[in-house]
Structure 1
Amino acid sequence: MSDPGTLRTVLATSPLTEPLKSGAVASAGLTFDFVDVSPVHKAFAPMVRHESYDLSELAIVTALQAVAYGRPIILLPAVVASRFQRGCLITRRNNGVMSPQDLPGKRIGVRAYTQTTGMWVRAHLSEDYGLATAAMHWLTRDPAHVEQYQDPSFVEHATDDKTLLDQLREGITDAAILGNDLPRDEEFTPVIADAGTKDSAWYDEHGFVPINHLVSASIAACERDPGAVRSAYGLLLQSFTQLQLPAGKPSPYAFGFDKLRGPVEYVIEACLEQNLLPRRLGIDEVFGPAEKILRGLPA
């Protein structure tokens, strides 16, 4: 348990979080006890299963599953990572998948079926090409961070130690979804050839960058020191308002209940189509507890 006014925190270093880590953005009444977890997704299971941290970055699919299964976390309206996703679906340059329309019946590798990048790729395949998630076979390596969730029947868990790229090279899979570890060599090529153009058109239509990670707080921390949680959110928001982002490029960060309502509702519908949630969540269920805390109301 952290001391009063101290939050044990996991946030990946980025232009948004670096000022908090360096102390350039700070509050006299709050201390961040930053824990270095790399890659950051290794913090997600400890957070939703054991409240191992007071404040932690959390993938949006894991976050929504945590709410649906009653795990001890509260979601703050703070997006700390987002990106366009269509280019994350790759295949072999030689003898690979020729186009997205060829994917039904094919095997696609992904680190976990619940991985947020995979959710976004499947959502785009559905929206752009009318491809149902269950029409493809998904080969995974990791289980869900929320242990109550069970993968659907069209998902298989690999029993060997081959990497996603090894599986793709050897023809075990026909395509693969990768994120920050996306390869840049000529051996692989995107399945969606015009991914950038489609991403731009999607942004123009929907008005947000596909969300990867939000910030979550443990219920224990919210009950012990709600003022510290409010202060942490305020510091993140302060860092955001001081950022100098590249002109003309969409922001990978977003804050506020009104700003996130539409994007989160989109993700909920995508998760339902992909059998990622046991039921439809209401937006008040997702953000209601945080709204009370940030407004200083009884939880």
Structure 2
Amino acid sequence: MAELSLSFACWDYDRTRALREGRVKPEGIELNQLTLPVEETFYRQLRHREFDVSEMSLSSYVLTLNEPEPPFVALPVFPSRFFRHQSIYVNARSGVERPEDLAGKRVGVPEYQMTAAVWQRGILAEHHGLPVDAVTYWTGGLEQAGREEKLPLDLPEHIRVRPIPPGATLSEMLAAGELDALYSAAQPSCFGREPAVRHLFPDFKRVEQDYFRRTRIFPIMHVVVVRRELYERHPWIARSLYKAFDESLRLALEDLLHRNALKVMLPWLHDHVRETLDVLGDGYWAYGLEPNRHVLGRFAAYSHEQGLAARRWAPEQIVLGQASESYVL
């Protein structure tokens, strides 16, 4: 039987590289990978359904579950994870020293629904006493004017979201003090250039490690999705793809642990790997539903509490549990 040819759009990650290079092949599938920036992939897939399989923002995917006929099915594969305390920035002239000082302030965010911001708002509310509706959110492009929400939002009235002025950018407004803070994924260009712009959590590594020790959460940013109509025609592809992604993940870890020569241009890479494993444990980037049930559950709660998800989805309603196996990194 001929292999099923599928397109796959994803950024260039070490954990997907073996798939792109052909060192790992999903059974019965010819996977044609397109290496694209994440925002381009998200926009093209959400607006135009261009790819059979793609990386996708966890938040955007959860929002698609609100639709009468959700267009995608998510595999329990998480190509991007990130602690997000480190990407909250403030203008020191606003008098913000602690998270609770943000109450009543103006906070920029590229999109209200973006995954990083959902985690940031949820963490600040749950662990630092800053309610989600205690600030006014201003949305727009970080470095380029004109960014809009990728999906329409229907937010409750108590959550205030406004667009920034036409032609303005969040980075410029933060530097000028027109915004008091920024919840972001990328680092704004004004950081390091404008002395008043700094991290909300200057010692973010310690804060993030402490957060993990208390919650066991390494935040999931992106999932891998399959167009639903394709999955319904060929349900076997979910397990085939999952097994291939899982094997590619295993090979990426082998590369990190390789000690004869450095495969990554970091002279103390092995010390960093050892520290990461000491703090996060051997399974810190595991795929599959069960190792990530608590992470998906927390995100689902945040999304619903912040006026995004229509309901608090159960983890098995978010990802296909039957696709996964219990592999631990």
- Higher relative contact order (CA closer than 8 Å, sequence separation 6+): 1
Q: Does 1:18 align with 2:17?
A: yes
The offset of 1:14, in angstroms, is 0.9
Q: Give the aligned partner of residue 277 of structure 1.
A: 309
Instruction: Give 1:134's aligned residue.
Output: 133
Matched, 1:160 2:192: no
| Offset of residue 126 of structure 1 | 0.8
Match in the other structure for 2:210: 201
- Among residues 40, 43, 48, which one is paired with 1:42 in the alignment? 40
Q: Deviations over 1:49-93 (max 9, x none)?
A: 443211111111112111232421001111111111111111224
1:155-194 equivalence runs, <5 A: 155-183=161-189, 184-187=191-194, 188-194=197-203
Q: What's the secondary structure of 1:35's corresponding residue?
A: strand
Aligned residues, how many? 289
Q: Which moved more, 1:7-16 or 1:46-55?
A: 46-55
Percent identity at matched positions? 24
**Aligned equivalent of 2:119:** 120
Q: Against the structure 1 CA distance between its residues 96 and 164, is the aligned structure 2 distance closer, same or farther, given a 3 Å change threshold?
A: farther
Q: Distance in 1 between matches of 2:46 and 2:136?
A: 28
Map 1:258-277 to 2 at 5 A. Answer: 258-277=290-309
Compute the RMSD of aligned alpha carbons.
Answer: 2.3
- The residue number in structure 2 matching 1:150 is 154
State how far apart, in whole Å, the 1-side matches of 2:217 and 2:201 are: 20
Q: Is the 8 A contact 2:289 2:324 kept in 1?
A: no
Q: What amino acid is the match of 2:307?
A: N
5+ unaligned residues in a row in structure 1: which ranges? Answer: none
CA gap of 1:252–1:213, structure 2 versus 1, over 3 A, is farther
CA distance in 2, matches of 1:47, 1:252: 28
Stretches of structure 2 that go unaligned for 5 or more consecutive residues are 141-146, 257-272
Taking a change above 3 Å as real, the CA distance of residues 151 and 98 of structure 1, as seen in their structure-2 partners, is same
**Superposed CA offset, 1:164-205 (max 9, x none):** 111112222111122234445152201123322221111112
Letter in 2 for 1:218: R
The runs of at least 4 aligned residues of structure 1 exceeding 6 Å deviation read none
Give the direction of change, closer, same or farther, for the CA distance of 1:227–1:258 in structure 2 (3 Å limit): same
| In structure 1, distance between residues paired with 2:66 and 2:59 | 11
Contact 1:88-1:182 at 8 Å conserved across structures: no
Secondary structure in 2 aligned to 1:91? strand
For 2:73, the aligned partner's letter is I
Alpha-carbon contact 1:106-1:136 (below 8 Å) kept: yes
Alpha-carbon distance in structure 1 between the residues aligned to 2:321 and 2:184: 34
Decide whether aligned partners of structure 1 residues 118 and 230 sit closer, same or farther in structure 2, where only a CA change above 3 A counts. same
Worse overlay, 185-194 or 195-204: 185-194
Instruction: With the length of structure 1 as denominator, give the TM-score of the two structures.
Output: 0.87
Tell me by how many angstroms 1:252 deviates. Answer: 6.5
